[in-house]
Amino acid sequence: MSAVFSGYGLGLRREHYQDFLETDVPVDFVEVISENFMVEGGQPRDILRRVRERHPVVLHGVSMSIGSADGLNPDYLRRLRSLVDEIEPLFVSDHLSWSRIGGFNSHDLLPVPYTQEALDRVCANISMAQDALGRTMLFENPSSYLSFPDAAMTEWEFIAEMSRRTGCELLLDVNNVYVSASNHGFDALAFLDAIPAERVRQIHLAGHSQGPDLLIDTHDSPVCPDVWQLYARAISLLGPVATMIERDDDIPPLADLLEELSIARNLGLIEARRRAGAVA
C-alpha cells in the first residue's frame, strides 16, 4: 500500500517549465503525463530529473489501456518501469479505460463495460502491470459519455471490486464524477459514499465544458463551484489526501493556477478544523 501523502500540487505543463526550474513554486508535488517522458535521454527526461530535484513527482499515464482485451504492451511496461526506477515517483497512475486493440490505438480513453468479463480482464491487466512495475498503482475513474445496456454493476461497484481483488489504489477525479453523474443521471454523492475511502490516495480537480447534449471533461477552464462543493464532500469522507488541479488546454499563467489551488488548500484547512473539533 502506498504511503499517505496529503499535499497540494499541479500538473507540470510545458508553458510552466521555466517557472518550475528557475523559481521556488509553492506546491507540494507535481504530476506529469508519463508518456511524455518515457523516452530515455533527451531534453524532456532531463527537465523531469531537474524538477524532481525540487519537488516530488507523480507519474500519470494515459495509454496503458488497462481495459484492453489484448492484454498490456510489454514494451510499454518496460519503458514505464525505467522511468519509475529513475524518478522514484510518489504514485504511478493510469485510467480505468482502454485505448488499444490489435495494432490500432485510439489515443482516447474509451469506456469499460461494467460486466463480470470486463472486471476479470481489468484485474488481470492490473496484476500484470503492478508485477511489472514492482509497486501498487492508482487507477482513475474516467469521465463517461455513454453507458452499456448489459452492465452488471455500477461504476462504483466495479471500482470497489477491482481494488479489492488487485490491491490497487484509487485516484478519485472529482470533476469526472460530476461530469458522469450529470451525463447519466446518477447521484454523485452515492458514488463518493460507495467507493472504498481507504484506497483513495489522490484527487484530481479540473474544469469541464457544456457540449450540445453532455458535459465534456475538457480541462480547459477553472474548477466550477459545483465541483468545489463535491470536493468538499469528498474530503469530508476521505480525510487528508493528495490533491491537484489539471489544466491541459487554454493554460493560464502559473499564478492563476496557484490561486485556484489555494481554494483546495483552504477547503482542506476547513475540513481539518472540523475534524479536530469533532475529536475534541
Per-residue pLDDT, 277: 87
Find the CATH number of the domain harbouring 85: 3.20.20.150
* Euclidean distance between CA atoms 201 and 238, whole angstroms: 9
Residue 195 within any structural domain of the chain: yes
- Residue 3 within a domain: no
Q: Is residue 105 part of a domain?
A: yes
Identify the H or E element spanning 197.
none
β-bridge mates for residue 193, sequence order: none
Q: Is residue 68 part of a domain?
A: yes
Domain region containing 157: 8-279
Residue 1 lies in a domain: no
Long-range pairs for 220-223: beta carbons < 8 A, 24 or more residues apart: 220/247, 220/248, 220/249, 220/250, 221/250, 222/260, 223/175, 223/260, 223/263
Distances (CA, A) of 193 to 3, 162, 189: 23, 17, 6
Can you read off the three cell numbers belonging to residue 98? Answer: 482502454
DSSP 67: T
Q: What is the pTM of this model?
A: 0.95
DSSP, residue by residue, 26-66: --SEEEEEGGGG-SSSHHHHHHHHHHHTTS-EEEE-S---T
> How many distinct structural domains can be found in the chain?
1
Distance CA(223)–CA(145), nearest Å, equals: 20
10 Å Cβ neighbour count for 210? 10
Query: Does residue 2 lie within any of the structural domains?
Result: no
Query: What pLDDT shows up at residue 147?
Result: 84
Per residue in 234-262, pLDDT tens? 999 999 999 999 999 999 999 999 999 99
Low-confidence ranges of the chain (pLDDT < 70): 1-3, 100-107, 279-280
Q: CA-to-CA distance for 145 and 179, rounded, in angstroms? A: 9
Is residue 19 within a helix (H) or strand (E), and if so which, with residue range?
helix 17-22
In a domain, 253, yes or no: yes
DSSP state letter for 222 = P
